[in-house]
């Protein structure tokens, strides 16, 4: 009868005015009006809860809790007051008191779906405190009350995830998401977040990403986006390149290896691993990485970049036979590439194939892109060295005379002095 009488009693004008002020976010004025309403009718717990709501919005949590205690002294089982207390305590990370407020609601809630949500909150809070056994106790109670309720299935998954039994967790989450029906995306997010994390823990990246794509709502949005970024090999490649450019090779290596752990055929990550190994004089390791980079790169232009980088490494390490083989392979795909032809000739010269080196350079020199004498100088120098080694002193002298600029100009002058000391 008490509840019926209270429901029939109309709200005071002060309370009605306070509600309008609160709705307009004028909480300071609203609190004054709530106080006026409480003075007029101090036995209505609803007035206290509404006042506490405004105090909470103004970040007056201590005052709000005190106001809620006043409501509970009037009506110890007033559920709206307990609900708000749980919310405030949880926001303050006072999980023990939040659990108490949730637990006090269990005997009061008669609607099964709402009761399951209370159980879910209690289980979640115990798990946040790493109190798995307490979480399991309340989960067992929830299971008895509503074994197939979505919230109970969620709790099952959360407990299994906390116990690192990820396959079991996946089973519960999957059962839950199959029965979400018309659940709003924001309410479904927690199921997909737990599912995605469990899949990721068992190494199933693809299914983890699929689940996380559906969890980007509310409090899960930022952590999901952070996790999705971490599952993207580009994220680790960029980190690796940044550290490589800064000369931090250990850090670069770590992130590049993470990239290929996520995507085993990630050509650009192998390329930079090759560059790092070369910097560390780990030539065989560098070769292995470059070979994989070339194997996995499907874009012809990017593959050419990798091949040129590998060719430069082989030349720098005086692995001329391997360099020659690679240069020939590149020229099959890109015939007439004069820069590759220069390196091919240099490799031929260094393994004693002077005639072939001369032919390669003579072919390259005819390319229109080398019409500028300055661009042609390094080619003329290699030609001069090849002709000299073949015993063609006149041809070598003519080639050296055409070296007009660049780092090889002084070397060409020196070679001419050796060939004709009486002239120079």
130-140: pLDDT as tens digits: 999 999 999 99
Q: Is the pLDDT of residue 5 over 50?
A: no
The reported pLDDT for the residue numbered 373 is 86
Angle (deg, nearest 10), helices 45-57 and 61-74: 170
pLDDT digits (tens, 9 = 90+) for 197-255: 999 999 898 899 999 999 999 999 999 988 888 888 999 999 999 999 999 999 999 99
* Whether residue 104 sits in one domain with residue 204: no
In a domain, 391, yes or no: no
pLDDT digits (tens, 9 = 90+) for 177-194: 999 998 999 999 999 999
In a domain, 40, yes or no: yes
Rounded Cα distance between 149 and 169, Å, is 16
Region 336-344: mean pLDDT is 94
* Whether residue 16 sits in one domain with residue 82: yes
Q: How confident is the model at residue 4 (pLDDT cuts 50, 70, 90)?
A: very low
Q: How confident is the model at residue 423 (pLDDT cuts 50, 70, 90)?
A: low
Q: How confident is the model at residue 78 (pLDDT cuts 50, 70, 90)?
A: very high
Query: Of 191, 207, 230, at which residue does a domain stop?
Result: 230
Query: Of 196, 211, 230, at which residue does a domain stop?
Result: 230
Q: How confident is the model at residue 3 (pLDDT cuts 50, 70, 90)?
A: very low
* Whether residue 204 sits in one domain with residue 103: no
Tell me the backbone φ, ψ of residue 147, rounded to 5 degrees.
-60, -30
* 258 vs 422: which has the higher pLDDT: 258
In a domain, 48, yes or no: yes
Angle (deg, nearest 10), helices 13-23 and 45-57: 30
Region 251-263: mean pLDDT is 93
Query: Of 209, 230, 251, at which residue does a domain stop?
Result: 230
Q: How confident is the model at residue 1 (pLDDT cuts 50, 70, 90)?
A: very low
* Whether residue 77 sits in one domain with residue 10: yes
* Whether residue 104 sits in one domain with residue 2: yes
Q: How many domains in the chain? A: 2
Tell me the backbone φ, ψ of residue 382, rounded to 5 degrees.
-60, -40
The reported pLDDT for the residue numbered 424 is 58
Domain at 180, CATH number: 1.25.40.10
pLDDT digits (tens, 9 = 90+) for 83-126: 999 999 999 999 999 999 999 999 999 998 899 889 999 999 99
* Whether residue 199 sits in one domain with residue 98: no
Q: Is the pLDDT of residue 6 over 80?
A: no
As a whole-number percent, the residues of the chain with pLDDT over 70 amount to 97
- Domain with 224, as residue range(s), is 164-230
Region 252-268: mean pLDDT is 94
In a domain, 301, yes or no: no
In a domain, 209, yes or no: yes
pLDDT digits (tens, 9 = 90+) for 23-40: 999 999 999 999 999 999
In a domain, 96, yes or no: yes
Q: How high is the mean pLDDT of the chain? A: 92
Q: Is the pLDDT of residue 145 over 50?
A: yes
């Amino acid at each position: 009868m008490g509840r019926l009488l209270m429901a029939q009693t109309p709200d005071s004008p002060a309370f009605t005015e306070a509600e309008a002020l609160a709705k307009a976010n004028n909480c300071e004025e609203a609190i004054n009006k709530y106080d006026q309403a409480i003075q007029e009718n101090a036995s209505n717990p609803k007035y206290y809860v509404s006042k506490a709501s405004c105090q909470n919005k103004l970040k007056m949590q201590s005052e709000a809790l005190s106001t809620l205690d006043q409501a509970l002294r009037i009506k110890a089982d007033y559920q709206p007051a307990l609900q708000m207390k749980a919310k405030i305590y949880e926001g303050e990370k006072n999980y023990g008191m939040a659990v108490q407020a949730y637990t006090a609601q269990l005997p009061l809630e008669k609607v099964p779906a709402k009761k399951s949500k209370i159980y879910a909150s209690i289980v979640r809070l115990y798990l946040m405190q790493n109190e798995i056994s307490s979480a399991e106790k309340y989960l067992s109670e929830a299971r008895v009350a509503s074994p197939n309720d979505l919230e109970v299935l969620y709790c099952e998954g959360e407990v299994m995830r906390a116990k690192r039994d990820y396959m079991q967790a996946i089973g519960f989450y999957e059962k839950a998401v199959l029965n979400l029906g018309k659940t709003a995306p924001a309410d479904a997010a927690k199921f997909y977040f737990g599912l995605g994390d469990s899949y990721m823990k068992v190494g199933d990246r693809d299914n983890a990403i699929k689940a996380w794509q559906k969890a980007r709502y509310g409090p899960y949005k930022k952590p999901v986006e952070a996790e999705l970024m971490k599952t993207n090999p580009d994220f680790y490649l960029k980190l690796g390149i940044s550290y490589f450019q800064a000369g931090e090779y250990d850090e670069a290596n770590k992130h590049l290896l993470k990239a290929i752990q996520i995507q085993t055929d990630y050509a650009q990550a192998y390329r930079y691993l090759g560059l790092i190994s070369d910097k560390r004089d780990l030539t065989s390791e560098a070769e292995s990485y470059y070979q994989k980079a070339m194997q996995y790169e499907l874009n012809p232009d990017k593959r050419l970049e990798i091949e040129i980088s590998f060719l430069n490494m082989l030349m720098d390490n005086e692995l001329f036979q391997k360099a020659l083989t690679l240069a020939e392979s590149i020229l099959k795909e890109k015939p007439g590439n004069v820069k590759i032809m220069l390196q091919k000739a240099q490799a031929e010269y260094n393994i004693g194939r002077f005639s072939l080196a001369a032919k390669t350079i003579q072919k390259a020199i005819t390319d229109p892109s080398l019409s500028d004498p300055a661009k042609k100088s390094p080619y003329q120098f290699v030609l001069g060295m090849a002709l000299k080694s073949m015993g063609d002193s006149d041809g070598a002298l003519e080639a050296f005379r055409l070296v007009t600029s660049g780092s090889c100009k002084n070397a060409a002058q020196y070679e001419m002095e050796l060939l004709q000391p009486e002239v120079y």
